[in-house]
Structures are given as C-alpha cells and as structure tokens.
Structure 1
C-alpha cells in the first residue's frame, strides 16, 4: 500500500511490482526490497529495511539523481522542485584542462552527503547559465568556484574560505554548513565614489547600515533589480521624490540593487520593495501604498503610518507562471535560473 501510494504521487519514474522468481533471481533479490535501477553512478540502489511510505520517498529522493547533477533546463525542475533544499554548486568550464580532475574531486565529496544536499555542476561556457553566475555574484573569469545555497526558510548563500577545489576542502565546507558554524556569504558592490552626490543616494552592502540605521535621519530605501520592469516604471517617480527631499537635513531617499548586494538582517522577497527607516527608531516599515510621488511623500512625512506596515519575514504569494503582475504588484525575487 505504501509503495502504491508513493507511485501515485511521484512523476517521471516508472514503478513496478513483481513476485516473479525469474525476475527476482535476475535482480539478485531474495527478500522484500525496493530496487531503484538507473543508468548512472552505481546503477542500482536497494531499500531492504524499515519500508514505509516515508522511507520510500526519502530513498527515491536521495538516489534518483546522479551524485553530481548537470544544471540545464531539463534538470532545473528536479533540482529546485525537489525535497532537498540545500544545493552545493560547482561552477566550471568543461573546456578547461583540469575540468575532469576537479569534477572528480567534487563527485568524491558528494558521496558523503547524498540525501542531504544536491551537488550540482553549472557549465560557465553555456550562455544560458550566465544569469546563474550573476545570481551568485560570479563572473566567468572567477571560475572554477564553489558555492552553497539553502532554500530552506530564508534563502542564504555560502562561500568556502579556500578557493581550492579538493574533496577534503569541499567536505569540510559542506560539513561546517550542516554543523551550523558557517556564516552566510553576502554580496556587496564597492561603494561608488559619487554615491551621495545625487538626490537619490546609491547604497551597497558595505554602506547600507551606516546610512539606513542613522538615527538622526529618516531613510527611505527602494530595493530594486536591473531586470525588473516595475522598478523601471518606479525610477522617474523615485527621482522626483529625491528632488523633493534633496535639501532636507533629516530625510534621505536611497536605492539599492538587491541582486548585487545582500543583507543578513533584511531579506528582499520581491521587486521593487520599499522600506522606511524612521528617525530615532529601530522600526523598519514596509511600504504598501501606491507608487506615486504624493503617496510616498505622505508615507515619509507620517513616519510610515500612511501606506505602511511593520516589516515582516513572510513571503508574498507566488505569481503563477504566465501571469503578469498587475500595476502596484511586485515581481518575485526568485526567477527561474
């Protein structure tokens, strides 16, 4: 019954039941067992004890993909849609002289973490993977490189201390994540020399807190993405807002590219996200009003009471594929990589 229940809900894998003696003999099975046959790695896996619905699902989840999964449009859904939400990624070029050696080291490390994290190879030569590299703040000149990402609760990225790619270094890196001793790797651009020379100040990870948490000022920050259509629509409105407050001593209008700069204490779930950091307060207030100059002015001048709500860590409902966001809505931060 457990096997049939799992078979009804798992896509992409053919299921079969047999008690035929010839088949059992061919498979080398003498007792009750679940056998997973595949055309990669060890060729087969067996589950022979504690067989119930939960263990069958875990068994399939742990063994249905190769030890090292090549990232491409065909595997993306299994990688991101699966139950394993911790992914260790190796960015490299298949054309490089040391590709096979480095992949071998990566695969060796993967054996110790099967079922806990997916080890994924991302080919930096494939133009379709350019966005994936950008998402991790990497350029093709910086590969080979390894990163780890967890999609549990709040998304976080991690970077090894060493750039050396060996099974020992990788094992220590991944183990330290599961031990809870690894600190997230936060992206930050360099502070532009003219970051404060325009009405809308430019923030990056390295100067965000010194500006936004300045208790002597009320600071409005728009978290944007360069590819976001709604952010582009907001730009002229936001620039008018900056002009209005450019001579103010206690109001700062600022923006930050949240795809290239990350903050440990603020997670941006959609674009654009607008937050107010009121003067003489530790409160952070999310803007929920209309994207007009008048509405934003009212939000600022009321210290966030008009058109705002206390910041929360809840994620917004996901936009259905193929649906366009309505005016005033945000674009999800997680695009298909």
Structure 2
C-alpha cells in the first residue's frame, strides 16, 4: 500500500471474519455505504480528499501496523503521514463524515458576531452548541474547537461579542447546549479543569435521550458515545409499576449526565436475551439495576431492591467514589471438580487454577444451551485424556453463562483461552480449528514440559491452595 503526499487520505477497514467466511457485518455494511456516499459528495467539492477501504482479513500486515481492533474502523491520513493517522470514531452518516472532514481542513466552528446570528443557528437544528469566550485564541477556547471537530453531528458556534454575552446572561467562558433554541446545559470553563475528552463526552450525551432503551437499533449508538460507565435497569415495560420506576430512573439520570449513561432493558423483549445472560439476570431478579464499566468489564449490583431516586443516586455516587462493591457471579465449586480429566472451573476457583504459574491451563468457555458446545465437549474430553499424564498441562472448562470471569470478554460460544505457565495475567486467544488435532498442535506449540516434576498431581496442588484460602 503506497502513501503518496496527497493532502488527505482515508482508510476504511470494514471487514469482519466470522469462522472462516469473510463478509461485511451489519454495522460495517451500513457504514461502508455512508462512507461511499460521503466520498461521492466530496469528490467535486474537495478533490484532494481521497477515500479508500481495506479488507483487513486479506491485508493482515496493515491490520497489525495500524493496530486495528474493532470493525469498522476509520482512520484519517494527512499529507501522506503514515505514522500518525487520526481516528474518526462514532461517525456513521455521510453528512457527519463530510462535516468531520471539513472541520479537520478548516474552522471547526462558525464565528458569531450578533444575537440574530446566534438565534439563526440555535433554531435551525434540534441541538446546537455555542461557545462564549472572551478570547478566541489560546486557552479554553482551543478545547472547544477540538471538541467541535470530534462532534460533527452538531452545529457549533463561537462568539466573543459582548452583545451576545449579555443577551444570554453569560459572564464567564462557557459552552452552552441549546435544544430547540432553549439552553439546556451550561458548562463553565474555570481553573483549566475542562478537557476535550470530558467536554466531548458531555456534549455527545445530548445527542441521545436521557434514558436510552437498549435494542438492535440503539446498541451501536450507545457504544459510540464515549461514556465508559453504563447503568442498566432491567424491567418489563408492561408491568403495573413501570411508569413510576421509569420516572425515578429518569430523574436520577439528570445528575449523572456525562458520567454514567442510563440504559433501559425491557425484560419482555426476547431479542435482549444475550444481555440478560451477560449480566446473569433472571425473571426473579427484576426489576434489577447494574452498573458496567466498559474499560474493566467490572459489574456492580445496586444493594437496594427498590428503584427509587434516592437508592439510584446513592448507588451511582458510591460507584463514582470507588466505594461500590464489585458483583461477581459464581456457581459453587463442585466436589468432584478435579476428579475427571477435564477440570471443572467456576468463578470461585478460576483464578487459582488458571493463573497457576507452574501450569499451562487450556480452558473451554461454553454455554450449556449451545449445540456447537455440546458437540465439542466429547472432543474436549478426548484432549484432556490425551494430556492427563502431563504434569504441566491442565484441560478445563467453565460455564460462562453462570460464572463471571474477570479479564475475559464474552465471545462467540464456544471460545478457548490458554493461560501459560509462568504468568499471572497473560491470556492467549485460540482461534484455530475445533478439532482434536488442532487443539493438540496448539498446545504443543505453546507449552513446554516442566524441567522438574513436582511429584504431585497438579489438581492436588491447586486444591491445597484453595483450602488455604478458605482457611
């Protein structure tokens, strides 16, 4: 792939690999269409902007070079600079792509000189953001300019005109969010506390409802907003108490805008089944409230059963202060967990077994209801029997639908991870074929026999460790 010194060039990586078939995923296909439309519209307007796309399932070197982790991914290359591309995140419509490009090429905001001009901007769209700054260069206003570049969905204006300040009662440097011409939020810039990430996060939340119902249509948008803390209310929308519960939930959401995203999950919607499974929510639990940190995948359960404004506020404040207790689901450790060649892991014994520094532990994460998992379990038993006499290898399985395992993100069932000897945190993803031969070949490549035998069965050593912890 050649990088010439055109002023700008785009790279799109929309392809996704599922099993061994290459095709565009739903979100990727939609984004690719919008991307192509933006390219068509800008071709005449700004001819030195080049749009391109890359199938990373074929171009694996490019995937590695640019560290492509998510699909689709859009990167922006300026003046042929291959080493410092700009990530274009959360942009999914042609109009937003066009605005994003223009704000990277030129001014990111409209310069406002009068109240009439301000009113024209804030009344033309559902939402608009106006920056009131005494100086239009340097300092806080630069944060505002950078934020405008990252939020192409909304019109941004900026003013230093005293008349406009007076018309809206603004005295300090302030970013104001307007909805239908009316101010709905004032963000005052004081003591250099604001930064672009926090301001972008706050403003983007206004592009969505205060409480967002999770469904197939909103799921992509939810993750586009850069808020890493999500609180979820699981409740049936047709229950007699729903209106009051929702009212309390929405009232609590106002205080935490930009800090915690409030999401509603209708437990009567069967298409939400994977969400219930992920949070271990059953019918007897609802209404239930959970907080999820997207970065750490840590989950938290609201201590109180009643969904009141006070209980929600207390839960959120405790979480943000780092005082909330993490919620971890686990089955009880079976008495015979280590009696068979395949060791049975649950949340309570997973870390002690998987991160044993003297063992290579190969784990199958399965769902009991999965036909593919049930088909593979006999093969997994065969693999364990083949390595039963190896002191440095443990073959194990865990029901991931019933046990929370930190550091492991949900994947398509079944999925496999190797926890190598000598490490207390390393996890190796297995993405090979689901055959006895392929599993064995992977193990041989990734593991080495111990230099010295311990003389003990590996499960016995781990059992002793578990017993010590219980004591």
TM-score, normalising length: structure 1: 0.69
Which deviates the most, 243-252 or 294-303?
A: 294-303
- In the TM superposition, residue 193 of structure 1 has moved relative to its aligned partner by 6.0
Matched, 1:161 2:267: no
Unaligned runs of 5+ in 1: 307-337
What residue in structure 2 maps to residue 267 of structure 1? 408
Flag the 1:219–1:288 CA change in 2: closer, same or farther, 3 A. closer
Matched, 1:3 2:109: yes
Provide the rounded CA distance (Å) in 1 between the counterparts of 2:228 and 2:350. 29
Matched, 1:183 2:325: yes
Q: Say whether the 8 Å CA contact 1:146–1:159 is kept in structure 2.
A: yes
What residue in structure 1 maps to residue 260 of structure 2? 117
Provide the rounded CA distance (Å) in 1 between the counterparts of 2:384 and 2:353. 15
Q: Say whether the 8 Å CA contact 1:258–1:268 is kept in structure 2.
A: no
- In the TM superposition, residue 145 of structure 1 has moved relative to its aligned partner by 0.4
Q: Say whether the 8 Å CA contact 2:201–2:227 is kept in structure 1.
A: no
Matched, 1:170 2:318: no
What residue in structure 1 maps to residue 365 of structure 2? 223
Flag the 1:95–1:195 CA change in 2: closer, same or farther, 3 A. same
RMSD value over aligned CA atoms?
4.3
Provide the rounded CA distance (Å) in 2 between the counterparts of 1:56 and 1:281. 39
Q: Say whether the 8 Å CA contact 1:147–1:158 is kept in structure 2.
A: yes
Flag the 1:246–1:49 CA change in 2: closer, same or farther, 3 A. closer
Which deviates the most, 235-244 or 137-146?
A: 235-244
Matched ranges for 1:144-293 at <5 A? 144-152=287-295, 154-192=296-334, 195-196=337-338, 198-212=340-354, 219-224=361-366, 235-246=377-388, 251-264=393-406, 266-268=407-409, 270=411, 272-276=415-419, 278=421, 286=428, 293=436
Provide the rounded CA distance (Å) in 2 between the counterparts of 1:132 and 1:195. 28
Provide the rounded CA distance (Å) in 2 between the counterparts of 1:216 and 1:10. 50
Q: Which has the higher contact order (CA 8 A, sep 6+)?
A: 1
**Cα deviation digits, residues 42-101 of structure 1 (max 9, x gap):** 975244754999486355224332322222233222211111111111111122222122
Aligned to 1:83, what secondary structure does the other structure show? coil
Aligned to 2:200, what secondary structure does the other structure show? helix
Flag the 1:289–1:61 CA change in 2: closer, same or farther, 3 A. closer
- How many residues in Structure 1 have an aligned counterpart in Structure 2? 296
Kindly name which structure, 1 or 2, has the bigger radius of gyration based on alpha carbons: 2
What residue in structure 1 maps to residue 184 of structure 2? 45
The partner residue of 1:132 within 265, 270, 275 is 275
Q: Say whether the 8 Å CA contact 1:222–1:275 is kept in structure 2.
A: no
Q: Say whether the 8 Å CA contact 2:175–2:187 is kept in structure 1.
A: yes
Flag the 1:57–1:274 CA change in 2: closer, same or farther, 3 A. closer
Provide the rounded CA distance (Å) in 2 between the counterparts of 1:305 and 1:220. 13
Q: Say whether the 8 Å CA contact 2:346–2:403 is kept in structure 1.
A: yes
Aligned to 2:273, what secondary structure does the other structure show? helix
Flag the 1:43–1:119 CA change in 2: closer, same or farther, 3 A. farther
Unaligned runs of 5+ in 2: 1-106, 111-144, 450-471
Provide the rounded CA distance (Å) in 1 between the counterparts of 2:344 and 2:276. 23
- In the TM superposition, residue 294 of structure 1 has moved relative to its aligned partner by 5.2
Provide the rounded CA distance (Å) in 2 between the counterparts of 1:171 and 1:83. 21
